[in-house]
Amino acid sequence: MLDLRPLSHGPRPPLIWLFKLRLTDDRLKNFIMDRPVYAFEYPGRRGLLKQKSVADIASRYLDQLLAVQTDGPYWLAGYSFGGTIAFEMARQCRARGKTVELLFMLDCLSPGTPYSEPRRVKRTAITMARLALGLPVDRNMRWPYMWSIYGRALAAYWPTPFEGKVVYVKSKERPAEHVEKWQKLCLGGFEAHELPGNHETVVNEDWLKILKGAIKNVMRENP
């Protein structure tokens, strides 16, 4: 079953967004420039997550993307952990000889960020047991399970650089060290922006303006 869901439609190749989330879906549904937007579901939403590393999760989504869009150029974008997966998908795209014209990352933690939340251990274990038995799991129980996997995956993620250009947007409360670490991994150019607020409040209209600007630049450079 494909994890890719259309948020809007249009005649041109799509912008791929990671991941489908209420905070961003409503804004992306009414996006721009006859460019459809497709969003991947969060990994782990449908059951136990088999892929436990950033590279493996990205590879799964990239295989699905290439199955429905065999030729590039590809436009990838994501928020939070989704932006990290988009980065790794872009790396793997280039390794497969594919063209990535746009990579947009919204307030993503840098690779190797430590993860430690022991208070979630018991709840995560209960969730995993229920999922393994095929039992329903309340949304409030599922999120700690998913975030424990994402956190561990990010802590163990040490990628090689990406040769293309990246547009990175961070919230003001996100420490600057995350920008510095991402910049070192982006050899084709790195455009950084800062918006007021924190990781939740940064998802407002301002990031869409930056994304639209990035798209206009790509279209101007690749008519």
Do the domain assignments include residue 144? no
Residue range 29-84, pLDDT digits in tens: 666 556 788 888 887 666 556 778 999 999 999 999 999 888 889 999 999 999 99
- pTM reported for the whole predicted model: 0.88
Do the domain assignments include residue 149? no
Do the domain assignments include residue 103? yes
- Assign residue 191 the CATH number of its domain: 3.40.50.1820
pLDDT attached to residue 1: 42
Residue range 151-207, pLDDT digits in tens: 889 999 999 999 999 999 999 999 999 999 999 999 999 999 999 999 989 988 898
Do the domain assignments include residue 137? no
pLDDT attached to residue 14: 85
Do the domain assignments include residue 145? no
Q: Which of 86, 73, 92, 71 is nearest to 39 (CA)?
A: 86
What is the rounded CA–CA span in Å between residue 58 and residue 157?
Answer: 12
Give 88: exposed, middle or buried? Use CB within 10 Å, 0-12, 13-18, 19+.
Answer: buried
| Structural domain count of the chain | 1
Q: pLDDT-based confidence at 9, cuts 50/70/90? A: low
Residue range 112-149, pLDDT digits in tens: 998 866 555 556 666 656 655 565 566 666 667 777 88
Q: Give the CA distances from residue 215 to residues 119, 197, 212, 218, in Å, rounded to whole numbers and listed in that order.
A: 41, 24, 5, 5
Structure tokens of 135? 């039992």
Do the domain assignments include residue 93? yes
Q: Which range marks the domain in which residue 34 is found?
A: 4-112+154-221
Do the domain assignments include residue 117? no
Do the domain assignments include residue 182? yes
